[in-house]
Structure 1
Amino acid sequence: MDQTPLYLQIKRFILQKIQSGEWPVGYRIPTEFELTDAFNVSRMTVNKAIRDLVAEGQLARRPRVGTFVCASEDKAESPLLDIRNIAAEVLQRGQHYSNKVIKQVALEADETVAIKLGVMLGSAVYYSEIVHYADDKPIQLELRWVNASYAPGYLEQDFTLLTPNQYLSENCPLSAIEHTVEAIVPDIHVRNSLRLSANEPCLLLNRRTWSGERLVSSALLYHPGTKYKLSSKVCV
């Protein structure tokens, strides 16, 4: 029996129709009432699926007319002013999440790493390098340095089963974030990891996180510029 939440099943159904071309750009999809009857679910469940797809740029609502398939930018989106588990983000979009752990080792902090984490030269540091995938397409290369004193169990984790973000959030509750975003020309390692073409742009998010007064983690998060965007919302 499929244990996937009902609203995600409906999202996948709609996305399959769009991606197969059966529902092309400009097509008016069935009404919420029609989908409610078809899936034998509440209208609230259908509404949740459609609202998510509108937010993701797959659908557009036209008051008193209907909901239509719109041209997709084919870009995943993450909130810039928040930290979310990338695995949960991918699954929420109705895609399959997977990753590949390239490295997971203990290091002694050199000058660059010591500055990143605010520790003394030679301090114990853990390092992980992971490529994250959505539907088997790479969407993020994550390079992360962690203060070993604050996350002693880091190297023991199986990051194919949970992400570093999830582990650190559960063991070192987030209190502050510092990050910068820039467009870069990626080096060959980043290009190969993300399967980028020679002239394809790359977004780099440089992020440091604190738990209380402790600087726990510093990460470089690389994304394909043509397939990813970062967003922010500020309430005033």
Structure 2
Amino acid sequence: MAEIIIPGPQGRIEARYTEPPYPGAPIALILHPHPKAGGTMQDPITIMLYQLFEKHGFGVLRYNSRGVGRSQGAYDQGIGELEDAAYVLDYLENLSESPRFVWCAGYSFGAWITLQLLMRRPEIDGFLAISPPANHYDLSFLAPCPASGLIVAGDKDSIASPEDVERALTKVRVQKGQKVDRAKVAGANHFYQDSREELIAVCEAYLLRRLEEAENELRKEADEEAGVDVIVEEEDFED
């Protein structure tokens, strides 16, 4: 993991970056909680999400949004923070060599930014949204949600309860072939005190399932292409 400084829209953006382990490896962007509530890229859940993707062969980047840590600028009600996220995703993609998959993950306020970002970036293949504060922010912009992902909430969360999330998602549609899964962590509050390992286990199980499905799909496509080649060769031989 390296400390890097990104020249962002409002000046420097402080970040941590793990290079992809091989050319074409998948990449993931991790977004931290609300800056006004002490959220930084050093938040424990943000770090654990970063380590999850790093563990499974992703190039990963997390950063401090404007006005946080050594990042320049000032909090901008989510508007500038979304601009930062889009800019940093561009930067991450430019550091990578044709990434196989692009994922985004965020916690709390970072989950809300994650969900907005994927609406603007069709290259995002999957997402993890941890405790999006659906009672504070409208999620109706997910119309329709363009990528499959997982939304997780603690069943004792008074800030972003599973009921609030479900209520917000009742009006949300997804594009054909996509699915937004939901999961609850038993006994967990918004900060997942004493429940962080359980949270990451839920996220890891989902990530591994999605990666396996993607690999199976790629193998199927490769087999179909190989079958077409064989047919062509046989026809050429008969002629």
TM-score (norm 2): 0.23
Ranked by relative contact order (alpha carbons within 8 Å, sequence separation 6 or more), the top structure is: 1
